[in-house]
Amino acid sequence: MVLFRLCFVIACALVVGAACPARAEPSEAELSRQFSEQVAPFLKTYCHACHGSEKPEAEFDLTKYNSLAHVAQDYPTWDIVLDRLLAGEMPPADAEAQPSKSAVEAVTD
């Protein structure tokens, strides 16, 4: 993922009221599968320790996003998530689990 393509697809849907036909974007079903297989495990491993359901940092609970539909409903938040991931700010340098560059690329590409 996919987060980038996801944001693109959702932004398009918001703006023109339909999925963008111009580019060969993955279908919603495909994105949904990629979310479950790639993004959800990534969040669990690298983010949930701090952004869990109990006393989450920045009051930001990432465990509630367990499907693509949840992410889509809260699209602006995911723009921030994407920014922080790409900036290398999340997870913070002192976090126990650090994703490799390729792991970040796999979810943000």
Q: Does 1 bind ligand HEC (CB under 6 A)?
A: no
| Nearer to ligand HEC among residue 31 and residue 40 (C-beta) | 40
Q: Name the nearest CA neighbour of 35 among 8, 70, 10, 61.
A: 70
Examine residue 64 and tell whether it contacts ligand HEC (CB under 6 A): no
Is 61 an interacting residue with respect to ligand HEC (CB under 6 A)? no
Neighbours of 34 (CB within 10 A): 20
Q: Which of 4, 41, 95, 105 binds ligand HEC (CB under 6 A)?
A: 95
Among 8, 69, 88, 92, binds ligand HEC (CB under 6 A): 92
Q: How far is the CB of 49 from ligand HEC (least distance, A)?
A: 5
CA distances from 39 to 43, 46, 49, 67 (A): 6, 11, 15, 10
Interface residue with ligand HEC, options 80, 88, 105, 109 (CB under 6 A): 80
d(CA 82, CA 53): 20
* Tokens linked to 1: 């993922």
